[in-house]
Amino acid sequence: MNYLLVENISKSYGEKVLFENLTFGIDKGQKVALISKNGAGKSTLINIIMGKTLADNGKVTFRKDIRVAYLPQNPVLDESLTIEDVTIKSLRQQGWEQEIKLKEILSRLEIKDLSARISELSGGQKKKVALSKILMEETDLLILDEPTNHLDLEMTEWLEDYLHRRNMTLLLVTHDRTFLNHVCTEILELDHHQIYRYKGKYDYFLEKKAEREAIERAEVEKAKNTYRRELDWMRRMPSARGTKAKAREDNFYKVKEVAHKKLDEKTPELSILAERLGGKILEMYNVSKHYDDIVVLDDFSHVFKRGEKVGIVGRNGTGKSTFLNLITEKISPDQGKIIIGQTVKFGYYTQDGMPDREDMRVIDIIKETAEYVKMGNGNEISASQFLTYFGFPPTTQYNYFSNLSGGERRKLYLLKVLMSNPNFLILDEPTNDLDIYTLMMLEEFLSQFQGCLVIVTHDRSFMDNLVDHIFVFEGNGKVKDYHSTYTEYRRVKDKQERLKQQENKLIQSKNTISEKPIVSRQKLTYKEQKELEQLEVSIADLEAEKVDIEQKLSLAEGSVDELTQWSNRIGEVIRDLDVQELRWLELSERN
């Protein structure tokens, strides 16, 4: 059943063509991600679909009897209302059960003071309020534009699980590859004014996109050879031509169009020559920081080594930004000592971004920092070449700052930080508003970076691919250092939490049993000992099967029947794991 049909949609702004004759549809139950480079027109396309922007031609058709809900990147809420007015009061006609669910969502997104007015909230808080409300609306088609911006990792994972489990139809704009992989099973790519559809997850998309581009390059190369030959014929032929010659002339113009098709060139590896780091870099000894009665950092010590790459994770308000401001000396510790080496040159990318430069061109903004950039191989490249590498072609470089999209502005700010040749990079949520392609280039760039790197990000793929270890801010000033990827840390933590929940269930179940006098705890019988050993093997097998099924589902390469079978089986595996782990806990306590 078709819910949305987009037919022959085109949109241009002056000479800048965003897209031409786009046609695609979304059927009931499909969860589709829309991706493209910044400035290619994702948000414009979404606004056209929602009737907020007019297309140059084409039409958008929704099924008549469906309800559509939309979360824009920057929601507009009534500033005079309170959070409670916007959320709970607006949904009270749906019943108290919906109100309870909404309160749980608000709690998950750390929206606590429901009496606060919308006018008092930050942009990120407004986004979370709007997200809470839209998740509770009775809707058939949900359209979300970058819903994970301003969410911390735990919130992102909760939203991911929420959307994954719900039987819904979804159109999602996101740059978060892990989120995309877990939620969506199809990808729409807006590229070179056209739309391409991939029925699979992100890894499948990368594979098929590479195949498509290889075919296109071969076609363009073939057309170029044909064009050179046909161009010579066109120049030699007289103007009066017969039917066959006219057909050949028509074909010439078709070949010319293919031969002149612009394709993305393969991006070369690029690394900046960082300033030399001495033996002493950054040393923190017993550092503490308080704000009134709130402990932000408590007795923290760490000595940074050359080339160290650290990820920082934790819920909002646990002290991550304070930690960054301490090591960059923007604030001072209450106790402890911070020693910064004389050769350290910080490059600090903050969430605040850079001041508006409305009347300046992109190239001039970059040249304020440097006209040339020293590369890792000893060569220099111009500011213009550096911009081109990160997706600012010459035509955009002479565009004014005021004409840039939000993602392009943040990317420009990031480039200014990178171009300053730091040897200690601090990036606070650098992935917000950046497109997937820029993230991949930035990952490659940072992997070659020879200095120290500290990253705060809710993008799990980005963190896993770059850092050596992670600082986990647990609240109340406590920070733990885990020498693993975030994904591995989370997997272990989830298992520990699941076992803890099962242990609590076991305790509760024991408390409900009629009390009987217990003389002594009996040791395991031979039969129970064997059962315990078999459970350990069985649990390991079930966990391996669970991982295998999750991988199959994420690739989405099976038939409809196979996908249905795997979906049903993984539910059985999870239930069996719960039962067997509970029994294992019961027996192991007596072993």
Edge-first strand order for the sheet with 346-349 is: 346-349, 424-428, 452-456, 309-314, 469-475, 478-482
Report the residue count for the chain. 591
pLDDT for residue 192: 85
pLDDT surpassing 90 at residue 201: no
Better-scored residue on pLDDT, 112 or 378: 112
% of the chain surpassing 90 pLDDT: 33
Better-scored residue on pLDDT, 264 or 299: 299
Pairing relationship of beta strands 346-349 and 424-428 according to DSSP bridges: parallel
Give the pLDDT mean for 165-169: 88
Q: What is the 8-class DSSP label of residue 549?
A: H
Neighbour tally for 43: CB within 10 Å: 23
| List of domains in the chain | 2-205 (3.40.50.300), 217-259 (no CATH), 282-482 (3.40.50.300), 521-588 (1.10.287)
Query: Which two structure tokens, joined as six digits, stand for 496?
Result: 């520990």
Burial class (CB in 10 A: 0-12, 13-18, 19+), 128: buried
pLDDT surpassing 70 at residue 189: yes
Q: CA 390 from chain center: how many Å?
A: 18
Q: Does an H or E element contain 564, and which? A: helix 560-588
pLDDT surpassing 90 at residue 584: no
CA dist 585 to 442, 504, 528, Å? 46, 11, 12
pLDDT surpassing 60 at residue 265: no
331/448 Cα distance (integer angstroms)? 31
Among 36-45, 370-379, 545-554, 579-588, the range of highest mean pLDDT: 36-45
For 460: left if phi > 0, alpha if psi spans -120 to 50, otherwise beta; the answer is alpha
Better-scored residue on pLDDT, 561 or 388: 388
Contact 47, 70 (CB under 8 A): no
Give the pLDDT mean for 159-167: 89
Report the predicted TM-score, pTM, of the whole model to 2 decimal places: 0.73
Work out the pLDDT band at 425, boundaries 50, 70, 90: very high
Burial class (CB in 10 A: 0-12, 13-18, 19+), 35: buried
pLDDT for residue 550: 76
Q: What share of the chain is helix, strand, coil (3-state, %, to 5)?
A: 45, 20, 35
Residue in 264, 334, 32 with CA at minimum distance from that of residue 169:
32
| CA–CA–CA angle 576, 579, 581 (5° rounding) | 100
Residue in 75, 174, 91 with CA at minimum distance from that of residue 133:
91
Neighbour tally for 498: CB within 10 Å: 14
pLDDT for residue 532: 81
Kindly report which listed range (132-141, 198-207, 230-239) carries the lowest average pLDDT score. 230-239
328/153 Cα distance (integer angstroms)? 24
pLDDT surpassing 50 at residue 95: yes
pLDDT for residue 23: 95
Give the pLDDT mean for 187-192: 92
pLDDT for residue 521: 53
Q: Got the DSSP string for 263-277? A: -PPPPPP--B-PPPP
Query: Which two structure tokens, joined as six digits, stand for 338?
Result: 């911070």
pLDDT tens-digit profile of 267-279? 555 666 667 788 8
Give the pLDDT mean for 409-431: 89
Rg (CA), the chain: 28
pLDDT for residue 317: 81
384/367 Cα distance (integer angstroms)? 9
Question: If DSSP states are collapsed to H, E and C, what string results for 49-83?
Answer: HCCCCCCCEEEEEECCCCCEEEECCCCCCCCCCEH
pLDDT tens-digit profile of 170-181? 999 998 999 998
pLDDT tens-digit profile of 434-487? 888 888 888 888 988 888 999 999 889 999 999 999 999 998 999 999 998 888
pLDDT for residue 44: 92
pLDDT tens-digit profile of 284-305? 999 999 988 889 999 999 999 9
pLDDT for residue 243: 67
Residues with Cβ within 8 Å of 478's Cβ and at least 6 positions away in sequence, in order, are 298
pLDDT for residue 327: 93
SS3 424: strand
pLDDT surpassing 80 at residue 582: no
pLDDT tens-digit profile of 340-368? 999 999 999 988 878 777 789 999 999 99
Among 40-54, 527-541, 572-586, the range of highest mean pLDDT: 40-54
515/254 Cα distance (integer angstroms)? 87
Contact 456, 428 (CB under 8 A): yes
Residue in 340, 342, 333, 344 with CA at minimum distance from that of residue 286:
333
Contact 438, 38 (CB under 8 A): yes
Burial class (CB in 10 A: 0-12, 13-18, 19+), 497: exposed
pLDDT for residue 359: 85
SS3 288: strand
pLDDT for residue 506: 72
- What values do phi and psi take at 186, rounded to 5? -140, 150
Query: Scanning the structure block, which residue is given the tokens 């090591």?
Result: 327
pLDDT for residue 113: 87
Among 114-128, 299-313, 514-528, 548-562, the range of highest mean pLDDT: 299-313
Give the pLDDT mean for 19-38: 92
Residues with Cβ within 8 Å of 87's Cβ and at least 6 positions away in sequence, in order, are 102, 106, 114, 129, 132, 133, 136
303/576 Cα distance (integer angstroms)? 45
Work out the pLDDT band at 518, boundaries 50, 70, 90: very low
Amino acid at 418: L
Work out the pLDDT band at 411, boundaries 50, 70, 90: confident
Work out the pLDDT band at 519, boundaries 50, 70, 90: very low
